[in-house]
Amino acid sequence: MAITEIKKCRECGSESLTWDTHSKTDSGVPEGRLRSNEVKCLFVLGCDDCSETLAILSADRVAGLLNAARTPATSVE
């Protein structure tokens, strides 16, 4: 299923959905000793009513989707 096709929660049917961000690392390095390349940014689409996670996207995938949707007349402020 494409991200744009998610309109409601598959668990409870709610249409109240929110994107949030989350940082993740798999390196096992203690907090404060991480390098920036060891931290991944994830975007998470979740249901506001039942907290179901509906989608998880990497920052690279989100950037790709934004670039694909961008038209020459579009500007980011």
pLDDT at site 28: 84
What pLDDT is recorded for position 60?
94
**67, 49, 62, 66: which is closest to 22 by C-alpha?**
62
For residue 69, with 0-12 CB atoms within 10 Å meaning exposed, 13-18 middle and 19 or more buried, which class applies? Answer: exposed
Each residue's pLDDT tens digit in the chain (77 positions)?
A: 688 899 999 999 999 999 999 999 888 888 788 888 888 999 999 999 999 999 999 999 999 988 988 876 555 55
- Provide φ and ψ at 9, rounded to 5°: -70, 130
The predicted structure's pLDDT at residue 74: 55
- Report d(CA 77, CA 74) in Å as an integer: 10
pLDDT number for residue 75: 57
What pLDDT is attached to residue 62? 94
